[in-house]
Structure 1
Amino acid sequence: MFEPRLALASLSGRSDAAWASAASEHAGAAFLGGIALDEPSREAARALVARDRDEFLPADPIAFVDDQLSALSETPIRAGFNLRSSSPEPIATAAAVCRAHGAICEINAHCRQEELCAVGCGETLLRESDRLREYVCAADAEGATVSVKVRAEVDGVNLAETARLVERAGADAIHVDAMDSEEVIRTVTDAADLFVIANNEVRDAASVREYLAYGADAVSVGRPSDDPRVLARIREVLDRLSREAHA
């Protein structure tokens, strides 16, 4: 799906084309966004801004997705866009834009802010599996490469079942925030034949090796994604492990 197998995880209001381009020396993929696509999710994002969170709130979110992906057309990195919506139709529209750019359409089933969950976004989708299936099917129908960003440790949610569900619906990848439960990656990799991206506290050789030992295909970084020292360290580890595997 991308090489090197280091991704940049989206950071609300910060992960744009310039951010991705700055890290392209080290990373193989970058998930821009998250971006709220429809009015309920945009209203939730405005509420988050009112309590001092950063959010992307362009006048036209679909045009913003298109413009940001266009800005990366000459950058050697696989782009993706992390998407929020209270219904599947805007996801399909954005997925078509992602497909046109060869980008990954990432459905956000991860955010846990009350405002977003109240309108059916983020981790609410993990609890409402029929809706999550609709979102994945809508994106897949547009021919996009589909990833689903999920969170571990959500009460009542079995990530193995979630992985099987999104795989059947047409997803290609699952991006797992392990939430200090690193072994959940093995649960996911055993459950489905998806490209698994492991996220949470990826900082050094030990964390990279642990996630790969649990079966992850790639790792991602969030907050350190603008720190070239951390990215270079992780890239060095991945390159070394790749050489060892092919020796």
Structure 2
Amino acid sequence: MVDLDFEPRVALASLSGESDAAWAEHAANHVGLAFLGGVAIDEGSRRAAERLVERGRNEFLPADPFAFVDRQLRALDDMPIRSGVNVRSASRAPIRDVAELCADHDAILEVNAHCRQPELCAAGCGETLLRDAHRLCEYVETAAATGAVVSVKLRAEVPGVPLPETAGWVAAAGADVLHVDAMDSEGIVREIADTTDAFVVANNGVRDAATVTEYLDYGADAVSVGRPSDRPAVLRRVREATDAWFATHETGMTEPGTGG
């Protein structure tokens, strides 16, 4: 397994149009990992993102998405925080290109199989990939072949998708990290942690000691904060709770994927 032992075991989950290097730097005292993005990296995903902007959503739409990713990761190269970048793509080839950039910066390439916006799903991005596990695994294999550390952002409660089984297939294809939005099915984290030895990051509703403890007890190796990522008080509570949990679960710091 790739060494993903970052501290504290708190990550920032990407927020479209908001999660850039400056956002990560502002939270660096409280987290050990930040997923930038999401970034649309091919024509189909960019057209979908443009339609999202037209209806008032924030999106990253630089003229050159690969140069943008390179600049953002470069800005974090000397920061005491591990970086990753969440990307959307309706085609496989651009995944390889951005994964190579991530490998150059020792960053994590995160495939977005999570977004449920209709425009993105219609383009074949985001949640659509969960319904097409074969294509998702091809994306993962393509990224892993570059030597990059690969994460996949997953979502629970997608009708017809057996998420633990899908997580197992994705890990077998080369995903080192499974970033799980548990929605209202927090127990899915335990099912996924029991299915694979990938590094599991639990997301959704992480605000305080109760949510941190629940996810870590379920077997997550780390937790991630989404919407409140710009609120230092929330990040401080989450970090303190995470540090306290690992202080009393010593094996959790040395055996990622085993549930502590």
TM-score range, shorter chain: over 0.9
RMSD over equivalenced CA pairs, Å:
1.0
Tell me the SS of whatever aligns to 1:142: coil
Residue of structure 1 equivalent to 2:257: none
Cα offset, 1:242, TM superposition: 2.2
Structure 2 CA distance for aligned equivalents of residues 246 and 9 of structure 1: 25
Residue of structure 1 equivalent to 2:107: 103
Tell me the SS of whatever aligns to 2:126: coil
Tell me the SS of whatever aligns to 2:161: coil
Residue of structure 2 equivalent to 1:25: 29
Residue of structure 1 equivalent to 2:123: 119
Q: Letter of the 1:80 partner, please give it.
A: G
Tell me the SS of whatever aligns to 2:147: coil
Structure 2 CA distance for aligned equivalents of residues 198 and 229 of structure 1: 20
Residue of structure 1 equivalent to 2:210: 206
The percentage of aligned residue pairs carrying the same residue is 64
Tell me the SS of whatever aligns to 2:90: coil
Residue of structure 2 equivalent to 1:35: 39
User: Is 1:230 the counterpart of 2:234 in the alignment?
Assistant: yes
Structure 2 CA distance for aligned equivalents of residues 130 and 240 of structure 1: 39
Residue of structure 2 equivalent to 1:58: 62
Structure 1: tracts of 5 or more residues without a match: none
Residue of structure 2 equivalent to 1:216: 220
Residue of structure 2 equivalent to 1:83: 87
User: 4+ residue stretches of structure 1 with deviation over 6 A?
Assistant: none
Structure 2: tracts of 5 or more residues without a match: 252-260
CA deviation profile, 1:107-142 (whole Å, cap 9, x unmatched): 000000010001110010000011101100000000
Aligned with residue 195 of structure 2, among 191, 195, 207 = 191
Aligned with residue 147 of structure 1, among 146, 151, 155 = 151
Cα offset, 1:3, TM superposition: 1.5
Structure 2 CA distance for aligned equivalents of residues 209 and 81 of structure 1: 26
Structure 2 CA distance for aligned equivalents of residues 243 and 156 of structure 1: 39
Tell me the SS of whatever aligns to 2:238: helix
Structure 1 CA distance for aligned equivalents of residues 29 and 19 of structure 2: 16
User: Is 1:74 the counterpart of 2:97 in the alignment?
Assistant: no
Tell me the SS of whatever aligns to 1:123: helix
Cα offset, 1:239, TM superposition: 1.4
Cα offset, 1:246, TM superposition: 4.0
Structure 2 CA distance for aligned equivalents of residues 38 and 240 of structure 1: 42
Structure 2 CA distance for aligned equivalents of residues 11 and 164 of structure 1: 26
Tell me the SS of whatever aligns to 1:14: coil
Structure 2 CA distance for aligned equivalents of residues 14 and 215 of structure 1: 29
Structure 2 CA distance for aligned equivalents of residues 128 and 175 of structure 1: 18
Aligned with residue 46 of structure 1, among 46, 50, 56 = 50
